[in-house]
């Protein structure tokens, strides 16, 4: 069996490019996520490698190098390693790990105890923690914001810190499946029309005899400045149910390439521009991501290889024009949709509706009404927007009226500041904060800063805002003491409790045994705090566990329990 694994490992290694990277696993790679995939507020900066729906798979260093960063976080990447490879100028990243190897675990645990914190972000001195190609650096897991067991794997340019597409560096993923094309959307701009209307037109796509075509056979009439978008995804062999991202989208008009989007490299400073790249309203309202094949006024994304006239076409003749999309994955598998539009010399005279004041995307603005104010920095928006504001009634759950400002389907690139006039009773003032209303009517914490009798908070989303209070203490429950020796990790059992806060949210926790801080790992997905008992740190006899949890309004709960070891 060992010889078979060694042979497989060698074959995977030989298939790589001149960088001579080996695979991070000793089994074939199947993906649940691809590079550049459209995610919430960012493009996916790596590939997600399946681990057969389990944790604990050995992860191998892809090349010689040194560890430049070790991070443990409750959120995001969870347990993650960064390894610099001087030979290639790249850094490899391994995220959502279950645990690091013994050497790394000792180093990071020492840092956790030094800081008395589960969450740490440690930068070792260069070349102090060396790794060799093929060395086991840890085990795969499901830590941080992971939605299931897998390895999030990245290749970065060490100098620029840009994320690079790992599949361009010899990591073999079987894929002979063409991308799937779902739907086309056509956008009329100012004083333009699609089918004699000033609103966008969505057309589902169907596949017939191996070719994509529009579901509707009706003639599409266009006039004036018009642009296009497409909803599409990709699949690989061995992962038939995952809807992954595509590598390249090209749009042609009468055989002329107009727009070309490609994800071979990503800048983390540009990640938020995904909300300009996609039709954010469609995503917010209908959970459909259309790739815009045109640019909104504020879009600095570097992944447009070509974008003639910002992707906007002008139709002012009487001719029939051919529109074509070519969508490819990184293996060159390509799907095509081609259709006709009938250009018109004129369109109906649409009634011009005055929707009120406009917020210009490239200018700062202060919107102010009675008891409510919003500070919007320049370039917080991707395009000019009409201002929308209304005031609702105070409810049993709020200390103020509810202020509806703009719409949640309008994305923000920067944080704005919301100010609400303070009319909160003094007795509850310190437990009050600004919150945004969720779909179910509950409220999510945004912040609290008191200034000149008003309360302020930053937000990266529009919506309905109100002052609410949190006077409830966090909950600590489900104490469990499991005395089982784990010979692999040298743990003599564990103690766990569940922690939760249904109001402002947990901001602090601390675990102690006999008055001394102990390392308790926090998994927010299960609400569990777990202390793995280390033999050398625990003497035989009776001990006292103390857990303190605070929320964002400093409400505190303390739990104490005696146990025998």
pLDDT at 347 over 60: yes
Q: 111-120, 464-473, 490-499: lowest mean pLDDT where?
A: 490-499
Given a cut of 70, whether residue 14 has pLDDT beyond it is no
Residue 491 CB contacts under 8 Å (≥ 6 apart), including other chains: 485, 532, 533, 534, 535
- Residue entry with tokens 């690091």: 100
Distance of CA 386 to the CA centre of its chain: 28
Q: Give per-residue pLDDT as tens, 44-100.
A: 999 999 999 999 999 999 999 999 999 999 999 999 999 999 999 999 999 999 999
**So what's the pLDDT on residue 535?**
76
pLDDT score of 286 more than 50: yes
DSSP helix/strand/coil, 281: helix
> Under DSSP, is residue 425 helix (H, G, I), strand (E, B) or coil?
coil
What's the confidence (pLDDT) of residue 485? 65
Tell me the C-alpha distance between 339 and 448, whole Å: 54
Segment holding 292, helix H or strand E: strand 291-292
The average pLDDT across 210-228 equals 94
Q: Which has more pLDDT, 501 or 484?
A: 501
How many residues does the structure list for the chain? 565
Contact 336, 329 (CB under 8 A): no
Please write the tens of the pLDDT for every residue from 114-126: 999 999 999 999 9
Residue 511 CB-half CA count within 13 A:
24
Please report the pLDDT score of residue 94 as a whole number: 98
Q: What percent of the chain has pLDDT over 70?
A: 94
Least confident of 159-168, 433-442, 483-492: 483-492
Characterize the bridge pairing of strands 291-292 and 79-85.
Answer: unpaired
- Residue 509 scores a pLDDT above 50: yes
Alpha carbons 326 and 257: distance in angstroms, whole number: 10
Q: What is the DSSP string of 442-511?
A: -EEEEE-EEETTEEEEEEEE-EEEEEEE--PPPEEEEEEEEEEEETTTTEEEEEEEEEE-SSS-EEEEEE
Matching residue, tokens 């008191």 = 450
pLDDT exceeds cutoff 50 at 15 = no
The alpha carbon of 310 is separated from its chain's Cα centroid by a whole number of angstroms, namely: 26
Alpha-carbon gap, residue 171 to 75, rounded angstroms: 27
For the chain, how many helices (H) and strands (E)? 4, 47
Q: Which DSSP string corresponds to 105-161?
A: HHHHHHHHHHHT-S-EEE-PPTTSSEE-TT-EEEEEB--TT-SSSEEEEEEEETTT-
- Where do the domains of the chain lie? 2-168, 180-343, 358-469, 475-564
Q: Is 240 exposed, middle or buried (CB count within 10 Å of its CB: 0-12, 13-18, 19+)?
A: exposed
| CATH classification code of 358-469 | 2.60.220.30
Asked if residue 516 has pLDDT above 90, the reply is yes
Phi, psi of 435 (to 5 degrees): -135, 160
225-270 pLDDT, tens digit each: 999 999 999 999 988 889 999 999 999 999 999 999 999 999 999 9
Q: How is residue 301 written in tokens?
A: 């994304």
pLDDT-based confidence at residue 17 (cuts at 50, 70, 90):
very low
Whether residue 19 is predicted with pLDDT greater than 90 in this model: the reply is no
CA neighbours within 13 Å on the CB side: how many for 513? Answer: 20
Is the pLDDT at 371 greater than 50? The verdict is: yes
pLDDT bracket for residue 129 (50, 70, 90): very high
Please classify residue 16 by burial: count the beta carbons closer than 10 Å to its beta carbon, then call 0-12 exposed, 13-18 middle and 19+ buried: middle
Instruction: State yes or no: pLDDT of 6 exceeds 80.
Output: no
Mean pLDDT across 21-25: 97
- Give dist(CA 154, CA 163) in Å, integer: 7
CB burial of 266-292 (b: ≥16 within 10 Å; e: otherwise) equals bbeebbbbbbbbbbbebbbeeeebbbb
Give the model's pLDDT for residue 2.
38
Task: Flag the least confident range among 13-22, 150-159, 219-228, 412-421.
Answer: 13-22
pLDDT tens figures, 539-549:
888 999 999 99
Domain 475-564 of CATH type 2.60.40.10: yes
Paired tokens of 253: 């008009």
Class of residue 340 by CB neighbours under 10 A (exposed 0-12, middle 13-18, buried 19+): exposed
In this structure, the number of other CB atoms found within 10 A of the CB of residue 227 comes to 23
The region of weakest confidence among 276-290, 339-353, 435-449, 518-532 is 339-353
Predicted pLDDT at 3: 38
Q: How far apart are CA 300 and CA 369, in angstroms?
A: 33
Q: How far apart are CA 258 and CA 251, in angstroms?
A: 6
Are residues 19 and 167 in contact, defined by beta-carbon separation less than 8 angstroms?
Answer: no
536 vs 164 pLDDT, higher one: 164
pLDDT in the model for residue 486: 62
Q: Does position 353 have pLDDT exceeding 80, yes or no?
A: no
How many percent of the chain have pLDDT more than 90?
A: 87
Burial class (CB in 10 A: 0-12, 13-18, 19+), 49: buried
Q: What is the pLDDT of residue 238?
A: 87
* Alpha-carbon torsion, ordered 291, 295, 298, 299, to 10 deg: 60
Summary mean pLDDT of the chain: 93
- Enter the pTM of the model: 0.93
Secondary structure element (H or E) that encloses residue 10, with its range: helix 2-14
Rounded to whole angstroms, what are the CA distances from 332 to 247, 304, 328, 335? Answer: 9, 18, 6, 10
Q: Are strands 65-72 and 130-131 parallel, antiparallel or unpaired?
A: antiparallel
Summarize pLDDT for 28-44 with one digit per residue, the tens: 999 999 999 999 999 99
Note the pLDDT tens digit of each residue in 398-416.
Answer: 999 999 999 999 999 999 9
pLDDT number for residue 435: 98
Q: At residue 470, does pLDDT exceed 50?
A: yes
Return the CATH number of the domain spanning residue range 2-168: 2.70.70.10
Burial of 105 (0-12, 13-18, 19+ CB in 10 A): middle
The count of C-alpha atoms lying within 13 angstroms of the C-alpha of 140, restricted to the half-sphere facing its C-beta, is 22
Return the residue matching tokens 């400045």.
225
Confidence of residue 491 (pLDDT cuts 50, 70, 90): low
DSSP-derived secondary structure letter, 220? P
């Amino acid at each position: 069996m060992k010889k078979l694994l060694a042979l497989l490992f060698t074959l995977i290694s030989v298939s790589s490019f001149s960088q001579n990277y080996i695979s991070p696993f000793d089994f074939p790679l199947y993906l649940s996520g691809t590079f550049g995939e459209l995610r919430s507020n960012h493009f996916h900066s790596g590939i997600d490698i399946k681990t057969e729906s389990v944790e604990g798979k050995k992860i191998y260093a892809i090349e010689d190098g040194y560890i430049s960063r070790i991070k443990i976080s409750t959120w995001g990447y969870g347990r993650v390693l960064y390894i610099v490879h001087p030979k290639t100028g790249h850094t490899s990243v391994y995220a959502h790990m279950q645990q690091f190897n013994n050497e790394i675990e000792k180093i990071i645990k020492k840092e956790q105890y030094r800081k008395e914190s589960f969450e740490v972000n440690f930068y070792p001195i260069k070349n102090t923690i060396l790794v060799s190609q093929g060395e086991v650096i840890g085990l795969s897991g499901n830590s941080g914001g992971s939605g299931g067991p897998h390895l999030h794997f990245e290749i970065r340019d060490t100098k620029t810190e840009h994320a690079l597409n790992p599949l361009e560096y010899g990591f073999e993923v079987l894929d002979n499946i063409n991308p799937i094309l779902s739907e086309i959307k056509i956008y009329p701009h100012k004083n333009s029309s699609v089918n004699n209307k000033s609103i966008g037109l969505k057309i589902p796509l169907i596949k017939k005899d191996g070719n994509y075509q529009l579901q509707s056979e009706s003639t599409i009439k266009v006039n004036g400045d018009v642009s296009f978008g497409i909803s599409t995804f990709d699949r690989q062999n061995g992962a038939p149910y995952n809807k992954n991202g595509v590598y390249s989208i090209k749009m042609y008009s009468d055989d002329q390439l107009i727009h070309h989007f490609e994800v071979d490299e990503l800048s983390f400073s540009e990640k938020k521009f995904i909300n300009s790249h996609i039709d954010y309203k469609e995503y917010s309202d209908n959970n459909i991501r259309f790739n815009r094949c045109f640019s909104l006024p504020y879009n600095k994304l570097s992944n447009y290889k070509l974008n003639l006239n910002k992707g906007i076409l002008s139709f002012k003749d009487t001719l029939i024009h051919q529109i074509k999309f070519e969508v490819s994955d990184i293996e060159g598998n390509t799907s095509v949709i081609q259709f006709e539009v009938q250009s018109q010399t004129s369109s109906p005279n649409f009634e011009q509706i005055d929707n009120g004041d406009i917020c210009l995307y490239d200018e700062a603005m202060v919107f102010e009404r009675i008891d409510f104010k919003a500070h919007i920095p320049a370039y917080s928006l991707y395009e000019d927007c009409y201002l929308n504001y209304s005031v609702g009634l105070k409810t049993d759950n709020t200390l103020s009226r509810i202020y509806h400002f703009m719409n949640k389907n309008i994305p923000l690139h920067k944080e704005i500041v919301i100010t609400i006039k303070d009319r909160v009773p003094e007795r509850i003032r310190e437990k009050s904060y600004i919150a945004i209303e969720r779909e179910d009517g509950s409220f999510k914490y945004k912040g609290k800063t008191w200034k000149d009798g008003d309360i302020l908070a930053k937000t990266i989303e529009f919506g309905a805002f109100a002052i609410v209070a949190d006077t409830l203490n966090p909950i600590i429950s489900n104490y469990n003491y499991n005395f089982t020796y784990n010979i692999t990790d040298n743990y003599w059992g564990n103690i766990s409790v569940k922690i939760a806060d249904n109001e402002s949210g947990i901001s602090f926790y601390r675990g102690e045994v006999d008055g001394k801080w102990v390392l308790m790992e926090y998994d927010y997905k299960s609400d569990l705090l777990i202390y793995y008992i280390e033999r050398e740190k625990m003497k035989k006899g009776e001990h006292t566990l103390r857990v303190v949890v605070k929320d964002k309004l400093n409400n505190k709960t303390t739990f104490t329990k005696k146990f025998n070891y």
